[in-house]
Structure 1
Amino acid sequence: MKRAEGSKAADLWTRVRDYVIGVYNELKKVYWPDRRTLVAYTAVVLVTVAVVCVLLWLFDNAISFLLELLFKAVG
């Protein structure tokens, strides 16, 4: 019985080791951008997020304004 449990544990550690080795090998294949490209991509993301935030804020204010007009007209 203990032998079976020991082999299960060894099998688990073998699978974990193989997984970590596979992850390491895949990470060596990844194209890592240089600093200039990384800064440019980060700037694009930040500008895009800012634009979307402003658009959502404008849309929210417009809907709020229209709902206030509607409630004043009805109520």
Structure 2
Amino acid sequence: MKKIGNFIKSVNEEMKIVTWPSKKQLRKDVVVVIETTIIFAAFFAVADFAIKQALNLFL
């Protein structure tokens, strides 16, 4: 039980040291992640379509 208490105490101490991003920076980072996800999804959709069409030509 003492180990759990020490762990929680250590976590609380570490959380005080962490530098948290501002709301503005967090919002900016979220937008970058969403944009990147959309770009990758579009890329894989186009690649999937192209591969499917190429296989249909040969098969």
TM-score range, shorter chain: over 0.9
Per the normalisation by structure 1, the TM-score is 0.77
Larger Rg: 1
**Corresponding residue number in structure 2 for 1:68:** 56
Structure 1 residue 27 displacement after superposition: 0.8
Q: Which amino acid aligns with 1:47?
A: E
Identical amino acids, percent of aligned pairs: 25
Gaps of 5+ in 1: 1-12
Supply the distance in 1 between the matched residues of 2:28 and 2:9 (Cα, whole angstroms): 32
**Corresponding residue number in structure 1 for 2:9:** 21
RMSD: 0.4
Gaps of 5+ in 2: none
Supply the distance in 2 between the matched residues of 1:28 and 1:56 (Cα, whole angstroms): 41
